[in-house]
């Protein structure tokens, strides 16, 4: 099959993207080189600058894929009856090492036997992402509350933390891949910034939704996952 040739508009878009990417990679390289000789007081600023360039490059990549109409779809779901109550308990159990390392605690309030039609692998990834996010952006010794209930034909999972919270601007972008949010993790954890976007995609693939709430910076955050109950 002959290779497809880019249109003039696509060629221009790719040229501008490549130029921008080269500039950002060069900026990251310069920051890394300066780190070797920079005084301790300046290293945090250099790391923050390099991180900014990284996220801007990743965000530009996502925008390019959007411009070209490229779908970032997940693998096909393997649907079946899932005991969501048990799945949530197991997912939290695998996160306990992270939570205990930060002196955090989890308060559970779950209805037993909540069943949904879903793919256990992707639901596990979704729950893990929410619990991990709550721990990552919460301080040492804080509490994470996880509740699961049935409401109006749906299973509602809430993950609430006492962490750094989000202002209105960050809240609007929290499900945008590689958005450069102002909030920082509390123990130097990686600032992935794409996991929650994928988590929302996993929720929607199950016919559900994922929403984020926060009263502002320093006021904690909560995420509400809704998945239709098994009928």
66-76 per-position pLDDT tens digit: 777 776 666 67
Residue among 91, 90, 109, 107 nearest 147 (CA):
109
pLDDT at 184: 74
Task: Count helices and strands (H / E) in the chain.
Answer: 6, 7
12-33 per-position pLDDT tens digit: 888 888 888 898 888 888 888 8
C-alpha dist (Å) from residue 143 to 85, 98, 104, 214, 221: 20, 13, 6, 16, 12
Q: Quick count: other Cβ atoms within 10 Å of Cβ 75?
A: 9
pLDDT at 73: 60
Q: Where residue 2 falls among pLDDT bands split at 50, 70, 90?
A: low
* Span 179-200, average pLDDT: 75
Q: Where residue 55 falls among pLDDT bands split at 50, 70, 90?
A: confident
Query: Is the pLDDT assigned to residue 200 strictly greater than 70?
Result: yes
The residue among 156 and 52 whose pLDDT is bigger is 156
Q: Where residue 8 falls among pLDDT bands split at 50, 70, 90?
A: confident
Query: Is the pLDDT assigned to residue 1 strictly greater than 50?
Result: no
Give me the chain's average pLDDT, please: 88
Q: Where residue 228 falls among pLDDT bands split at 50, 70, 90?
A: very high
């Amino acid at each position: 099959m002959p290779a497809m040739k880019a249109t003039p508009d696509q060629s221009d878009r790719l040229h501008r993207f490549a130029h921008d990417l080269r500039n950002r990679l060069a900026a990251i390289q310069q920051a890394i080189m300066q780190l070797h000789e920079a005084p301790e007081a300046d290293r945090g600023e250099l790391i923050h600058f390099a991180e900014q360039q990284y996220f801007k490059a990743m965000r530009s990549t996502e925008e390019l894929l959007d411009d070209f109409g490229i779908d970032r779809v997940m693998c096909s779901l393997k649907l079946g009856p899932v005991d969501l109550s048990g799945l949530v308990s197991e997912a939290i159990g695998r996160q306990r090492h992270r939570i205990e390392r930060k002196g955090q605690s989890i308060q559970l309030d779950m209805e037993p036997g909540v069943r949904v039609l879903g793919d256990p692998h992707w639901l596990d990834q979704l729950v893990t992402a929410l619990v991990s996010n709550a721990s990552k952006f919460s301080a040492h010794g804080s509490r994470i509350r996880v509740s699961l209930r049935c409401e109006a034909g749906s299973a509602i999972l809430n993950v609430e933390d006492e962490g750094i919270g989000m202002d209105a601007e960050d809240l609007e972008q929290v499900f945008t891949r590689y958005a450069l949010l102002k909030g920082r993790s509390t123990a130097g954890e990686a600032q992935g910034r794409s996991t929650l976007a994928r988590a929302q995609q996993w929720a929607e693939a199950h016919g559900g939704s994922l929403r984020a709430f926060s009263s502002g910076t320093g006021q904690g955050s909560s995420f509400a996952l809704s998945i239709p109950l098994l009928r």
